Amino acid sequence: MPGNTGLNHHRIPILSFIAAIFFYSIITSSPAFAQPPAVLPGEQEELLLYFSKDEIIATATKQAMPLSKVPAVATVITAEQIRNMGARTLFETLKIVPGLGIFQDYSHDRGIEIRGVKTLNSEKVLVLLDGMRLNQFVFGGAFPIYSDLPLDNVKRIEVIRGPVSALYGANAFTGVINVITKEGGEINGVDMRAEGGSFSTQRYNILAGKKFGDLEVAAHFNYLERDGDRRRIEQDLTGASGRTDNWRQRLDTGLTASWKGLRLDYRHTALQNGPYIGATSTLNDESHHHHIDDIAQLSYRYEVTKELDASARIYWRNMRSDQYWELFPEGFMAGTYPDGVLGNPRIKERTYGAEVQVDYKLFKDNLLTVGVNIDRVKQYDVQHWANFDPDNVFAGPLAGGFQNITDWKNWNQNAHRNVFAWYLQDSWNITSKLNLIAGVRRDEYSDFGNTTNPRVGLVWQVLKNTHVKLLAGKAFRAPSGEELYNEHNPSAIGNQDLKPERITTTELAIETKVGEATIKASYFKNYISNTIERLPIGGGSYQHMNSSRRRIAGLELEGKYHFNKTDNAYANFTWLELKRLGSGEDVADVPKWRSNIGGNVAFARYFNFNTNIYFSGERPRTVRDTRKDLPSYAVIDAALTFKNFWKGLEIQLLAKNLLDKRYDDPAAWSTQTNSVSVPGDYPREGREIFLEARYTF
């Protein structure tokens, strides 16, 4: 099949699997492997986690701090929570976080919406893995590659809601998600898992780690294969009916090694998947996409004096994307295209970068952070294979059929971006009950100019267990390679005059603890300008342009009660008001409210039950869409874990969408036809049942 350069569909990589088992067997052959670690890892956040009763978070300030005192509205999801709820992928955990929503788009991607900001590529949220950026240059977001990031080796996930460009620069627009993995001493053995379930799902995972004095080593292997839920589509863009095609194959391997202050991280991901419906909202049976991503980071932290810490890191990334699309099926245009309309855009992306950060204690209660960051990003080997003229599909197929059209009708361009940035942050405990953190970052881009983004947070402990936070900040989202350099795609022409999107946020948050109960509330206002949208330029073509301004206000409420160490109940609620300034119309396709209710109960020492009920309000249509608003819905997930009945063995039964609720995500408005692309919307998954066996030694 043209363009198929990846893993073969439905074929387990047996050699990789055997090699991984052999590697882990060598590691575990040491008699000392079964011994518990002498101490926790020596990083600052680990010590705080050990001694503090409060949750600890480091992402918001690049310094480990108690969650109640951090100048941000944030959530920490621990490994224990992930295990109890049965979450296998990143997106399965994020849906329980207030202010966040997960959606399915018209092709193969899952997207994330934070506080009412929803875009196709989810490029307005920054995703980190152990501090390494996962967002791509060409498409802007970290997805589709990392929507189903496996969590078997994850220690915790830190989620910041609100702008953090003052520390992280681009894409930290509506929030930051940092996935933090386990080190060797925290694993201290081998963790093997195998799972099977609905839609021919197979998942295999091996995780191994050990601490040898000052040396810690951890490695993981994860393989996923599934057919996906083939949901019925009554009518696509062409009026045809059929079923979605959402099969998926994923391979993740990685290694982490640390010695004293030196640490090496490496991860390899290979993903191949089906098209769901397709790039043109047209059902087809040939589309497939292949992404390969390699990322590596070498970091070093050194305590110069008791008042001065220095850290440095260098990082590298190489990403390849190969998307083979059957844009329209066989027989399109009354048989003019007997093989269908075929397109195969390909691109590679490479990033080199370095960052140096210095933390200096100016005086007893004041910490100054200074950092410099340099990036060079290049998209290269951009190619386009097709059997049609991209500027006029109705001209009929090309003579010679499917061929390389890179030299005369490429979909994008070879390009590069250089970024130089510096940042300052000052954390000052004015009194024992009043903390002030202020910071600013300056980013200088080679392709569109400069941007400066400040933020300030005041945290006041008004009572012993009650904190009030006043927060304000600005952030930006840099134009992506697709938005800048797209060519010969009438529905999305690039624009090299684009300016970065901007957001200004003000927020008031309150957190209090009463006994074993924690209650949080936050109210925020966002003003977004320079929004990049596709606008008509005549002749049926559309171009990326800076356009509308938006105002979003919202309220987030959270409550959690711990009955004991294992049993708890929680609930959260999010309300949003979303307006386009100028027109005054509501922002479409986003619910005005959503909620989660759930809890965890352990029975004796052998059983653990966890459940979550997700509620979504109605989602309004665009003003041009005459269909009724999408109705509200509720979905129940539940996990039952059997443990401690056989040493090292756990069995978990997981049910997602337990009651088989039918619900949909809103179908896009087609700019090409000026009509609804899929009248029946995009159906989400039905009931899924999985059984996993886990053995640790």
pTM: 0.91
Are 550 and 532 in contact, with CB atoms under 8 Å apart?
Answer: no
**Main-chain phi, psi angles of 55, to 5 degrees:** -65, 145
Residue 243 corresponds to which tokens in the numbers above? Answer: 């079923």
pLDDT given at position 37: 29
Q: How many C-alpha atoms does 393 have within 13 Å on its Cβ side?
A: 17
Q: What is the second-level CATH architecture of the domain 14-696?
A: Beta Barrel (2.40)
Task: Supply the DSSP string of 450-484, one letter for each residue.
Answer: EEEEEEEEEEEEEETTEEEEEEEEEEEEPPPHHHH
pLDDT given at position 108: 65
**Category of 604 on φ-ψ map: left (φ > 0), alpha (ψ -120 to 50) or beta:** left
pLDDT given at position 3: 44
- Cα–Cα distances in Å, from 432 out to 70, 150, 364, 365, 466? 14, 41, 12, 9, 14
Distance of alpha carbon 293 from its chain centroid, rounded? 15
Of 440, 425, 508, 533, whose CA–CA distance to 162 is shortest?
508
pLDDT given at position 586: 81
Positions in the chain whose pLDDT score sits under 70: 1-54, 108, 670-674
Which residues are 419's β-sheet partners? Answer: 375, 445
Of 212, 199, 195, 119, whose CA–CA distance to 151 is shortest?
195
d(C-alpha 149, C-alpha 222), whole Å: 10
- Indicate the domain borders of the chain: 14-696
Are 466 and 441 in contact, with CB atoms under 8 Å apart?
Answer: no
Chain segment 573-607, per-residue pLDDT in tens: 999 998 888 777 788 899 999 999 999 999 988 99
Cis omega (within 30 of 0) for bond into 144? yes
Residue 68 corresponds to which tokens in the numbers above? Answer: 């109640």
Which residues are 614's β-sheet partners? Answer: 596, 635
pLDDT given at position 653: 98
Work out the angle at residue 488's Cα, subtended by the Cα atoms of residues 483 and 494, and round it to the nearest 5 degrees: 20
d(C-alpha 682, C-alpha 659), whole Å: 19
Q: β-pairing, 688-696 with 262-273?
A: unpaired
